[in-house]
Structure 1
């Protein structure tokens, strides 16, 4: 990867990207409330399980397909995988999360006036834009290699989960960095899985996570929006 593409990837994988990712825990806060996550070991177990069973088998593969669709400027494919991703959000919080961040990123892309305006025009034709669709548009417009963009998304997801644990378990900063470093093999494996699954192998079947998300919607005390 050339320096320009790497810098673009770092920018759009950064937790300082103003799309509100820090305000979501993706079900982790409910797991903390129920006692499923309570220390460094259980935090790592939760993150690895979610990475392999959900992100690597659905979010990652959908992003991978959207990257290819934007690269071909294939309107039908972009719309297909956007609609499938939105349909797969099985709780109100999970759907609101991806739509809010996708909208925020899409608005940011328009204000930054990125190259390849035809890609932004394609993005703007859709009534609702989930986060993977906006991320794919940004990566292709900035010539970020597909495999690097996928790794960037997976790392960003993992980093956000670790930050939730640092603030809410709570874990110390060193423990958080140790946890994040230990996730490297799992992130690499998740990227490989996301690139190799066939369409009929994609699945976000995770009833336990769905139930926790629904419980979080009525949880008495919350720091996060999901």
Structure 2
């Protein structure tokens, strides 16, 4: 991996990327509120299961396909996977989260003028841009290899989940870093799974998570928007 590509990947995966990821917990706050996650061991189990059973077989798998589509400047494939991902957001909060983050990243890319003409045309042809689409466009435009880009997206997701646990369980900073280290093999496994699945095997079936997300919409006290 070239040094410039690594630096670009670090920028894309950074929590300082101004897309608002820090304001979302993706259902984790509701799980903490209801007592499903109360310590570091439960936090690890929750994030690992989420990564392998929900993120890898759908969001990560679609991100992988979007990376390939942008690499080939295949507007039809981008539009198809983009539409599928939006349609699969089964709660108002999950849908609002990905559209807001995708819009923010797409605007950032255009403002920074790092997107080539073909990629910019594809982005601008989409009526709504979820985060995986904008991320895939960013990674390919910045010449980050797809496999590393996928792993970077998984790490950024996991880091945000860990930060939610550090703030809300709460866990200490050392416990949070220990948790990130322990999740390394899980993220590698999730990346491999996302690349190996065929189209017919894609699934984000997680009714318990969907219920938590809907319950979070009416939760009395909330730090996060999802």
- Please tell me the TM-score bracket, short chain as reference: over 0.9
CA shift digits 1:187-223 (9 cap, x unpaired) = 0000000000000000000000000000000000000
Structure 1 stretches of at least 4 aligned residues deviating more than 6 Å after TM superposition: none
2:123 maps to what in 1? 123
1:29 maps to what in 2? 29
Distance 1:203 1:28 in 2: 20
2:54 maps to what in 1? 54
Q: Which runs of 5+ in 1 are unaligned?
A: none
CA shift digits 1:112-138 (9 cap, x unpaired) = 000422202211110100000000000
Distance 2:11 2:126 in 1: 25
Distance 1:60 1:225 in 2: 22
CA shift digits 1:130-175 (9 cap, x unpaired) = 0000000001111100000000000000000000000000000000
Q: 5 Å matches for 1:74-85?
A: 74-85=74-85
The answer to whether 1:6 aligns with 2:40 is no
2:92 maps to what in 1? 92
- State TM-score, norm by structure 1: 0.99
Distance 1:15 1:4 in 2: 19
2:164 maps to what in 1? 164
2:196 maps to what in 1? 196
Contact 2:69 2:77 in 1 (8 A): yes
Contact 2:109 2:115 in 1 (8 A): no
Q: More deviation in 130-139 or 119-128?
A: 119-128
RMSD value, Cα: 0.5
Distance 2:118 2:196 in 1: 29
The answer to whether 1:104 aligns with 2:104 is yes
Distance 2:215 2:222 in 1: 11
- State TM-score, norm by structure 2: 0.99
Distance 1:115 1:168 in 2: 37
1:141 maps to what in 2? 141
2:223 maps to what in 1? 223
